[in-house]
Amino acid sequence: MFANRTNWNLKQNEIADRLQALKALGTPVFDLSESNPTECRFEYLNETILDPLNMVANLKYAPDPKGMLGTRKIVEDYYRQNGIFVDSSQIFLTSSSSEAYSFLFRLLANPGDNILVPRPSYPLFHFLADLNDVELKTYPLIYDHDWHIGTEHLISSCNEKTKAIILVNPNNPTGSFLKAKELEKIVEFAESSLIALISDEVFFDYPFNANCERVSLAKIKTTPTFTLNGISKAFGLPQMKLGWIVANGPRSFLNMASERLEMILDTYLPVSTPVQNCMKTWVAQREIIQKEILARTNKNRLFLHSLLSKPHPASLLNSEGGWYAILKVPKIKTENEWVLTFLEEDHVYVHPGFFFDFEAEAYIVVSLLPIPEVFEEGMKRILKRISETAKH
């Protein structure tokens, strides 16, 4: 009786089973997969975040499909501070990036059309594609001391049914920012092929080095582009549920896309009034919030570098930003076996590389958000385990 698009394998995997069993026994687990900032003891998460919720304006409902103009003006100003000039009419508010993806898939693709996504990247893409009846195709991110997009493979993977190319900038979990030369080549191809570009820039404000090369698609006007961001990452407030789409491109396209996208949003009216009213207060705290999160991710990453400064069977892959780190581990075990070993023997939980659709083994992915005491003890345990296992 259910739609074929929901015919997923819903059986819990072995790793999740083991983690659940340990928690049921009351066994403390060092969770190095934790990427929810509200679970990581940040000081910015205090009652001042809640203050603007207590305002009379939140009792009034005056829906605007694109979102309140005042809130969109705040997003407009966010880009202006980064030297990117977009108009509030180009901004569409959503409750999340996932919802934004769904709206854009509905806008751009018919059932059976395809959309390109990077590999490795979010596991979420597969579910979003299924729910919107589109085919997912991948293009590689190639690691050679640094990450770069396999642009030739990307171009050759497109066909007449390709409606959009998704760029995750910086990518998650590789932490690699889109480079100007890559963007130039991709924009040129997209423009000539009438393919839209969707840029997910939720981690854009989190470079490990403020001077690293970063380019946003929000400023591209020569070809259809949609840039996604939101307060989940930019303000460290995933519980407040507010994201946005910045549409750009040639004027004729922009007019038609805006009309259709506005109708889609008018059908759902996804964003609550209180969260939009709160933006004026929260945006004033954005710099403080990002500074605290960046201090945490940099501290944990530097600690990881220090642990691996001497020869070790594991190695840390280079990255430029975001909230994750990737370790290459010996192939003497599969990723699944490594993760289970860390759980069962060391009570440390990490993501296997296959969770992010890595093409080859063996990699593990750790979050840089946990408090230093948790991160440091967890990393010491798994690196010791790797070293001891590799000796035998």
For 109-127, the pLDDT digits (tens) are 999 999 999 999 999 999 9
Task: Specify the pLDDT at position 226.
Answer: 99
252/294 same-domain check: no
Whether 112 and 260 share a structural domain? yes
190 shares its domain with 259:
yes
Q: Are 319 and 392 in contact (CB under 8 A)?
A: no
Residue 183 maps to which CATH number? 3.40.640.10
| Model confidence at 392: pLDDT above 90 | no
Q: Are residues 201 and 255 in the same domain?
A: yes
| Strand-by-strand arrangement of the 315-316 sheet | 315-316, 324-328, 363-367, 351-352
Domain assignment present for 232: yes
Looking at 284, 302, 317, the residue that finishes a domain is: 284
20 and 72 within one domain: no
Q: Within a domain: residue 335?
A: yes
- How high is the pLDDT of residue 2? 95
Residue 357 lies in a domain: yes
Number of domains in the chain: 2
80 with 191, same domain: the answer is yes
Q: Is the same domain home to 278 and 290?
A: no
Average pLDDT score, the chain: 97
Look-up of token digits 């004033």: 284
Domain end call among 253, 269, 284: 284
The pTM for the full model equals: 0.97
Does residue 3 fall inside a structural domain? no
Mean pLDDT of 161-169: 99
Cα–Cα distance for residue pair 213/210, rounded to 1 Å: 9
**What is the distance in angstroms between the CA of the first residue and the CA of the last residue of the chain?**
53
What are 281-321's pLDDT values in tens digits?
Answer: 999 999 999 999 999 999 999 999 999 999 999 999 999 99
Structure letter (DSSP) for residue 360: S
Q: Is the dihedral of CA 267, 271, 272, 278 positive or negative?
A: negative
> Where does the pLDDT of residue 269 fall: very low under 50, low under 70, confident under 90, or very high at 90 and above?
very high
Averaged pLDDT for residues 31-48: 97
Q: Is residue 236 part of a domain?
A: yes
Instruction: Give the domain extent around 278.
Output: 55-284
Say what the pLDDT of residue 93 is.
Answer: 99
